[in-house]
Every structure is written in C-alpha cells, then in structure tokens.
Chain A
C-alpha cells in the first residue's frame, strides 16, 4: 500500500505541492491527471526520493508504513528499482545509447545484487520476452529500436525486480496512437499479472479514462478531485475537472465555407531521399512520398493524418517549397512551384510548427521575429508602419503590442504558439500550414489556440492544411481529412464521414487505437 499523506513541497521557498493526499492499493491502476506545472511529476519524484536540491517537504509518503521522506539516500537506493520503479516520457533519452538493451535490463538486477552474469541475462531475456520483445536480441542498441520498442525496454527494466509500484510518467506521450494503445495494454496486463500498483501520470484524461481504477485531478499543486474513475468522470464536481473535460474534446465553432476554389493542388507528388551510404555507394533511394494527390480549397480546413514516418512532414516541406520533389507537380494559386517556388508566391503560404520552443531564434525580440516574413515583400513596410503591422498581428492573436520588446523565453508555450501564428499571418497569406501546431500544448491551452485558429479563419478567409497525429484535434477543426500511411493517401473524405464510417483498414485501426473519453451525455441523462 502506497500513500501520500498531506504531502507539501516547496523548492527554494516556492510552493509546488499543497497537502497532496492519495492512496494506491496493491493491484490498482491510479491515474494522476493534470496540465504542465500542476505538480504531477514532482509528486512522482517525491515518491522516488528524487527531489531536486532545495526541496523542502512536510507530510509523509508511505510505502507499507515506511516514510520515504525520512529515509537516507542508501536506503532509498535499495528501494528504487526493487520496490518502486519508474518509466519516463522519452524512451530514447531514458536509455543509455552506448549500452545494449540486455545489459540495461540486467543492470537493475546486478545493482540490487539479485542476480549476476549469465543468470541476470537470462532473467533480462525473460523480462524482455514478457514485454513483447521476444524477437529482439539482447545485444541490440537503443537506436536500432523503434520508439515503442524502446519504451518496452524501459518497462522490462522497470519490472525486472517485480516492484510493488510502477510509476509511468507520460509513458505514451511521445508515441503514435497505435503504439500508445499497445503500450497501455501491456501495462494493464502487467498490473494484473504481477499484482503491482501502477501510477500513470498524464495530461490526457482519455489515456487513463478506460484504464485507471482511480483518478486524481491535479491543478496548481493540489488534488482538486479524486475517486473511482467512473465516478470522477460522471460527476466532475470540481470546476477544473469540468474545464479539463471540456477542453479535451473541445471543438471550436466554425462558419461553413463558400464554393470550392482550389488554391493548392498537389498532383502525384513523389519525394525520395538518397539511400543509406554503403561504402562509396548509396543504397536504393528511400521513397517517403509515393504519388500523393489532393486539393486544398479557399476557406477550407484540410486535415492530414498519419503516424510518424508516414511521410507527412516530408510532404509538408515539399508544399512549402523547402525541398525539391522527384516527380509530380504542386500548383499554388494556379502556378507550379516545381522545381523552384517563385519568391512572390511564398508570402501566400506560411507555416506554424509544432515546437513552441524551437520555433524562434532565442536572441531576437518578438518584433523582429514576427516581422521576419516581411523579407518576402518587395514593398515591405518600414519603421513605424512595420511596428504597426506587427502590433496588428499580435492583437489578432490576442497578445499585447507591448510584447514586441520581449524575448521568446519570456512567454509560455501557448503564448509562443500565438507568436508563431502572428509571424505566419504578417504577410497576410491565404494558406496556413499547421504542422502539429497544437500537439505540444496542454489541453486547455490547445482548446484556446483552436478557438483562435477558427476565429482567424473566419476573419481572414484562411485555408488551413492541418497536419497532425492527433485524431481528436483533426476532427474538431477540419472539414475534410486525408489519411496517410507509408507515403500514400489511403483514405480521404469529409471529416465526419471518415470518422463515423472509416473505409480503409488503416483508418479503422487508427480510430480504434485513439484513446477516447466516454460519452457522458448519456451517462448523465
């Protein structure tokens, strides 16, 4: 039995957790849900005794009566890995890139003196078999595995010593939907088999909705609502829970579009990469995009859905004229952009990227960042005019013109994404390419950005090409959707029709894998 009893935590005087109380019984799956900065990861680190320097705690974190907060570091070391184990969001960085996966799983055993040498490797093999990697040899390195396989290795190492509690901190956030579904299934099976407890920390209510026995919703260092999953989801007593719930399935109001008028036409585009080097030669080219065709109409939102490696990013770069294509044609506003995009067309198509942190030169102020695309205009405004245009763009995304003098690090993730949208709008483009533009944001921030996008579309008559792996978001904001698999469009059609009655097996597979919140309109009635 694991329990937190009025655990409060402050770091260098800043309160992080406030009287957090929770209980996890053996064999239970406990979901801890909250947005970034809510303190959910700190709660897990407190359980592991891995708090950063300068952390002060009050209250207790008990594992079968032992208060973990009072244990010495050597005692904690004995506990970590054997009684409490943890897996993290990013399976690539959680594994040592220069050590084989067999060694890394066996390491847990040898450190705790439970097995040595050949015996440790035998147990490691057994554990890897258990997590579904029976076809993967022990002497493989992390980079030779896919993201999902790496996360399985992390799980194998974590369960090597049959811990009583496994903490999974955003275990599937970095993974594709189908992989996510498999990993969640694996975790569920392991809990049932091993009789351990599982603490799943996530920002995504849907991930824990059909998996956890109990849920706690966290906001600003406090647990605002907790209880059995079905009860929490049905009652939603706390306003924050309701807000979180609404935000996860938020669909902005959008006005219907006018008559179709193609702005962008992609015609059987092929895109190859040079093959891997084999000595002095190169292997056969890698085909990333194989004959893709579609049209984007004026005022339309077109979704492009697919998992990582399906070629959607490659296709995007070709549409933006950043990479050459090896076959086919791309016509923008009626003119071909193959092989080279005419500079005067660029101003008409702009892009917003996923990562609100990597999208800006950290040494530039917002004014210069937002004004950068003016480079495209021959009659770009100067001086006061330029400032006025930047201010106008900032106001359009609900930021203040005063923000012009600030640096990007002074803004939150959602605000940065607004700046990115302002930068994309400054040349008054007709098409906006949104490349996973809301994927890195918390649900409530995401809902507000989606509202903003809908509003901007109405105001400026924009067309969106919305690229995402997140089906909920695509459903919320697009009129039509394309489903891409291994470089090909396997299904396309009106969004609602495709989601309600998917024709292609791959689309069905994607939809089945996507975690969903239960439909509570009936439950409440």
Chain B
C-alpha cells in the first residue's frame, strides 16, 4: 500500500481529532459542566469561555467535549454488540448454507431489519425508561443483522474456494474453518462495515437523544444540545450550530474513512486506481 487514498487520510484525521478530544475530556475540560451559573448564561465567545455558554451558564466547549465522549462511547459499544453477535451468526449461516439454521438466522435478521432503531428504542424506553444504556442496546440490536448479512455475504463465496475444500479434506470442522480460514479473509469487509456502522451509530445516538430517548441530563449529548437549543435558534444560533457541526464533521470523517479504507483494503479497487 504505497499510496493511501486522500479520503482515508482526511477521514482518519477528522475522526482522530474527535477521538482525541473525547479522550482529553476524560481528564481535563475547560470548565466543569455540572455547575449551573445563571449569572453567566448565554454569553458570547470570550477568553474564559472560548465558545460561549448555554442557557444554564455551562461552558459550551466543555459540553461539546464531553458530548463527543457520549457519542463515541454509545456508537462504539453499539458496533461492538453488532460485531460480537452478528458476525458469528453470519458465519454460522454461511457455514450451514441452505439448512434450517441458515433460514432461521436470516429470517430473524429480516425481522429485526423491519424495525428501525428508533422504533426499537421507543419499545425499550417504554418498558425500561430512557437512558444511554438503552440507546446503546437499541442501536446495537439494529447492528446485529447488518453484520450478520455482511459476514454471510462475504463468507459464501469463500466457502466455494479450493482452500476451504482442502481444509475440509484435512478433516477440519465448520467451526474451525470459519475461525481459521473464513473470518481472517472477511476482516477487510468487516472493518469497512464497522466504520460505516460507527458513523450511523453517532447519528442514531444524536437522533435518540434529540427526541429524549438517549442520554439523560446531566450527561451532555450532542443530540440533546440540539434539542435544547432549538427554542433559541433565532436569538442564539451558535448553540444549535456548534453541536450540529460536531455531528456533521464526525459523521463525515467516519464516512470518508470507511470509503478510504474500502479503497485501500480492496485489491481490485486498488488496482483500478493505478
């Protein structure tokens, strides 16, 4: 890989900045975000508050930094759930292609696919109340069929290859072949899909928080910041623009990285680029 695609570099840089900011917020933020200070509410950007303050006098930059933490944590764990459950299901379906197990797994997938993550979130919230954990669950459940399908789709052509046949003549079982031969050769596909699902997770978290089904106060979240700012959109537009911009840039960065990774990892596309 002598030349990396520019999309990958830009995307990785953007995502890297947000990740660094989120990690930084674990140890340091300019101002504490739990203290409400009505006296310093709705201030414009200044030396002490670089991006100004919100309607409760909290430092906007600090809120955005901790918000990045929430977004990334929710999306990351949700992708983790999708990978941890979806990939084994997909591999099992591919290994037993055409069998009742394959049918059950794939029709189960269709069933989950039929419910958007928002509907799953509402269902979970209605039963267990809104929280960041429930948002993670809702997005995570939605990710399972995505990874199951990608894994199955990528594994099926591999199962027809001679080296899998050779492994079978070496007496290896389906589980072992799936782990030793199929999974490593699916990695490229899964990494790209994980990046894309990660960006969708950020969006879904923002959407769920926006409608009040995600992280609850006082945990800051980009989506809820947007929701709270919407009544003041004409008087203090920066309160809405900044979290909105954060969401856009983060998702853009991840999507560019996903595209770039696909180009860099797929040898056919790599050759096409010359």
Contacts and interface: CB of A to CB of B under 8 A. Distances in A.
Interface stretch (A204-212, A245-253, A370-378): A370-378
Interface string A340-379: 0001001101110111001111110000000011111000
B121 to A, nearest CB: 35
10 contacts: A321-B169, A322-B169, A346-B170, A351-B165, A351-B169, A353-B165, A361-B184, A372-B170, A376-B171, A420-B166
B274 A53 contact: yes
Contacts of A347: 171
Contacts, number: 53
Nearest to A423: B166
A320 interface: yes
Contacts of A374: 170
A371 to B, nearest CB: 10
Sort A-B residue pairs by CB-CB distance and give the 6 closest, nearest first. A353-B162, A373-B170, A359-B162, A376-B171, A358-B162, A358-B161
Interface in A360-415: 360-363, 372-376
Interface string B154-172: 0000000111011111111
Interface residues of B, number: 16
Contact of A320 (B162, B167, B169): B169
B185 interface: yes
A394 B30 CA distance: 65
B49 interface: no
Interface of A: 53, 317, 320-322, 343, 346-347, 349-351, 353-355, 358-363, 372-376, 420, 423
Given A358-B161, A375-B172, A376-B171, A351 B166 contact: yes
Nearest to A345: B171
A355 B165 CA distance: 12
Given A53-B274, A362-B185, A375 B171 contact: yes
A361 B162 contact: no
Given A53-B274, A361-B184, A362-B185, A346 B169 contact: yes
Contacts of A360: 163
A363 B274 contact: no
Interface in B32-64: none
B171 A361 contact: no
Contact of B185 (A317, A353, A354, A363): A363
B181 interface: yes
Interface in B86-100: none
Nearest to A322: B168
B171 A343 contact: yes
A322 B165 contact: yes
Nearest to B187: A363
A455 to B, nearest CB: 22
B185 A346 contact: no
Nearest to B274: A53
Contacts of B171: 343, 346-347, 373, 375-376
A334 B161 CA distance: 31
Interface string B170-190: 111000000011001100000
B163 A358 contact: yes
Interface in B182-224: 184-185
Contacts of B172: 372, 375
A359 B164 CA distance: 8
